[in-house]
Amino acid sequence: MSLVHRALASRRAAPTRVMPPGSALTAALTSQAAHIAFQPPTQTGGIRSSRRSQKTFAFDHCFDSSEPGSARFASQEIVFSSLGKDILDNAFEGYNACIFAYGQTGSGKSYTMMGGHDSRGLIPRLCDTLFDRVADRSDPGLTHKVEVSYMEIYNEKVHDLLDPRGGKQSLKVREHNLLGPYVDGLSVLAVSSGQDIERLIVEGNKSRTVAATNMNSESSRSHAVFTVIVTQAPQRSSD
């Protein structure tokens, strides 16, 4: 079992991904008279800045995507194979699973999670594999239902990105005595394929709050939470 798979077998894992800096990021750093260098080894990342002393951070795994074409380049497929498949294994065993992408604007969160036209990210790959697994399940006594929700958190307010009525009504976060926290009134839509999910993501992204920053001309200004709910239940008898 690889290092990243051993880490994922525990309750939490904290991998990092190093992306090549874009022109906007380079310009922003230059204008601030700062130089940052990142050398991505296997487990520990070191950051050097002309303003501060060296900082060292430890991660469960480091995906080096800084140099396309290099022997150690971590593609979208490699990231998915290392992270996504174990997430699905846990989900089908009945455990809640979460991928939390954290980083400054322009660091590659959206690319890693969603991807682009020719390089799909974690979420679309996860969803396609999810439906492949559902189709491959041979137990005729079980049924599967897949539902999704998509919301953003902006200025401490929750908005439904899949609300068919449009608009941005603020929703309340409530507590259920059995299910725990939930968003009251959040749309939960049934889906039957990975294509259904990708279509809903595209529609939801149109409603996200965006604004230009020094590092990203169209930066999402909110936190987004995309949830996939898989329900496995015994097949009801027709008798």
Backbone dihedral region for residue 28 (phi beyond 0: left; psi -120 to 50: alpha; all else: beta): alpha
Q: In sequence order, what are the beta bridge partners of 234?
A: 142
On whether residue 185 sits in a domain, the answer given is no
pLDDT digits (tens, 9 = 90+) for 44-64: 455 555 555 666 777 888 888
DSSP string, 7-72: HHHSS---EEEE-PPPHHHHHHHHHTT--EEEE--SSEEEEEESSS--EEEE-SEEEE-SSTTSTT
Answer yes or no: is 79 within a domain: no
Is 172 annotated as contributing to ligand binding? Answer: no
Domain presence at residue 231: no
Both ends of the chain: CA-CA distance in Å? 47
- Percent helix, strand, coil in the chain, to 5, is 25, 30, 45
Residue type, 104: Q
Q: The domain containing residue 8 runs over which residues?
A: 1-74
In a domain, 55, yes or no: yes
Q: pLDDT higher for 212 or 118?
A: 118
Task: Using the predicted structure, report yes or no on whether residue 66 has a pLDDT greater than 90.
Answer: no
Task: Name the token pair of 152.
Answer: 């953003």
Residues 184, 186: Cα–Cα separation, whole Å:
6
Mean pLDDT across 212-238? 71
* Residue 174 falls inside a structural domain: no
Q: Is 108 annotated as a binding residue?
A: yes
Greater model confidence, 166 or 197: 197
Per-residue confidence (pLDDT) for residue 118, from 0 to 100: 77
Look at residue 29 and tell me whether its pLDDT is greater than 80. no
Q: Is 109 annotated as a binding residue?
A: yes
Over residues 14-26, the mean pLDDT reads 68
103 labelled binding-site residue:
yes
Q: For the chain, what is the domain count?
A: 1
